[in-house]
Amino acid sequence: MATDLLINAASYEVRIALIEHGNLVEFHVERPTEKGLVGNIYQGKVVRVLPGMQAAFVDIGLERTGFLYVDDVHISTDAFEKRLNNCGGATACCDSEPPESLAVRTPGKSIEDLLKEGQQILVQICKEPIGTKGARLTCHITLPCRNLVFMPMTDHIGISRKMGDEVLRQRLRKDIEELRPAGTGFIVRTVAEAATREDLEADMEFLLHLWSEIQDIAEKSKPMSLVYEDLDIILRVVRDLFTPDVDRLVVDNPKTYQRVLKFVQTFAPHMYNRIFKYDQNAPIFDAYGVEMDISRALDKKIWLRCGGYIIIEDTEALTVIDVNTGRYVGKNDLEETIFKTNMQAVREIAYQLRLRNIGGIIIVDFIDMEVENHREEVFRALSEAALKDKSRVNILKVSEFGLVQMTRKRNREDLVNMMCEPCPYCGGDGLLKSNRTVCYEIFRRISLGAQKISGPSVTIKVHPKVAGMMLKEEAVTIHHLEDELQKSLTIIPQKDIHMEKYEIVWQSDDSPSLSKQQKVRLEAQ
């Protein structure tokens, strides 16, 4: 089946879907009020140097200061090349996004030797602000184009590891070596497999001219100001995802369609005839079945074809995935049932990580497998499935408890956090106190304050569901409490009160300065 790239563009939101074999595998969304920042270059000002963390906070004019590690300020060429190779190849982590230093300290200069408070510094955002964290910054500027990524601060040539033809790799390396100015760095992207020397030269000329303009602007810019803004999500996705593997690029907006045509005609004219304007009555995402896939990607529980399911739960720094047999009972024996469920879960997990853009530390709790070969097979299947992912993924072997620890590079908010917000009722917990728990909490509060009650009655204002339980299932308890306190309890349902909240009102004379008719209110905290 064909691979399609769909662009649904509106003034208030742009949504982009990559469809492979009829399945949604990547989904990108951007709104004008929440525009992406990765790739932007700023004239920053160092506001705080942290020797204990070997890092600095840099004000770039955003709501929160950016975070700059020492190795993103200074790193030797040898160390830089070693890091690229440790990523799994020359451009494993840079093929479709700016390279980012790994969390491994390189022996060398300290942050206090390189930066001082108040110092101006040119930085680029390499990771979006996520949650309460500011943007991750780097001084190693990178400028991507169709076939090349330009690294003006580094003397290095890299070739995408996805190019398996060694003869082709050597030819491309030779071409770049002959074309590049001395002291500059370039990475040849995977899409450049079919690029000619003239294509590489044109990209290089464009990137060098762009860098010259950026330098001129930076010299005139004030601190905490934007120097260069990367392409918007539409052109960025066309640049990075519209590869020879994509059969059709379909756009539903006339103006966006013309922009894409002009961009592709400039940077990839051989792909021009693969661009189509969508002109059907049904919305483009409905016609391709994308809306249903997006809704499914927001669910915590995902059913497998065999009848099992996986549960995806996320925290601020960790995502946990639990695998269960669910309705699947197997045919022969328990171990076979478990193995088949885990194998189906592997494919779904790799798919969901890519679709939802889940990053950071990920723990997968597979169903326990007694057979060692089964654990090895699950690990191999997960590793193979992760090869399709454009983000860097590291996976450890399955433990004896059936756990797999893995990491996936996080460079922007995941899909759930981007499209959803915490429930205003439960505060994002996903749980509420039961009605009975609230009832007993109220009874305890009344019993503890019994000595302060001087009036003949106590009024309790609660949610209707809690009131219903108190008047029906807990009616006997209410009568016992009235007999014990020698007071009457009046329960008033209130629709506008939170299910966990309540208000207790009685008359008190515990203070000389208060009248006996003074009302005292106790509210749930």
User: What DSSP state is assigned to residue 69?
Assistant: E
Whether residue 7 contacts residue 249, with contact meaning beta carbons closer than 8 Å, is answered with: yes
Alpha helices in 357-471 (DSSP H): 372-386, 415-419, 435-448, 464-471
Q: What burial class does residue 186 get, using C-beta atoms within 10 Å of its C-beta: 0-12 exposed, 13-18 middle, 19+ buried?
A: buried
User: Is residue 457 pLDDT above 90, yes or no?
Assistant: no
User: How large is the angle between the packed helices 464-471 and 475-485, nearest 10 degrees?
Assistant: 80
Stretch 296-322: mean pLDDT: 90
d(CA 94, CA 44): 24
Structure tokens at 171: 């030819």
Query: How confident is the model over 313-331, as pLDDT tens digits?
Result: 988 779 999 999 888 877 7
d(CA 322, CA 303): 12
Query: How confident is the model over 486-515, as pLDDT tens digits?
Result: 889 999 999 999 999 999 888 765 544 333
Stretch 274-289: mean pLDDT: 92
> Within a 13 Å sphere around the CA of 205, how many CA atoms are in the beta-carbon half?
7
Stretch 285-293: mean pLDDT: 90
Stretch 173-186: mean pLDDT: 90
d(CA 470, CA 459): 13
Question: How much is the pTM?
Answer: 0.74
Query: How confident is the model over 77-117, as pLDDT tens digits?
Result: 555 555 555 443 333 334 434 444 433 444 567 888 888 99
Judged by DSSP in three states, 369 sits in coil
Residue 76: pLDDT band with limits 50, 70, 90: low
Work out whether the CA dihedral 475, 480, 481, 482 comes out positive or negative. positive
Residue with tokens 């492979």: 20
Percent of the chain with pLDDT over 90: 47
| Sheet containing 318-324, strands listed edge to edge, beginning at the edge strand earlier in sequence | 301-303, 309-314, 318-324, 360-365, 403-408, 393-395
What does the H/E/C string look like for 310-340? EEEEECCCEEEEEEECCCCCCCCCHHHHHHH
Whether residue 123 contacts residue 224, with contact meaning beta carbons closer than 8 Å, is answered with: no
Mean pLDDT over all residues of the chain?
A: 85
The pLDDT of residue 490: 92
User: What DSSP state is assigned to residue 444?
Assistant: H
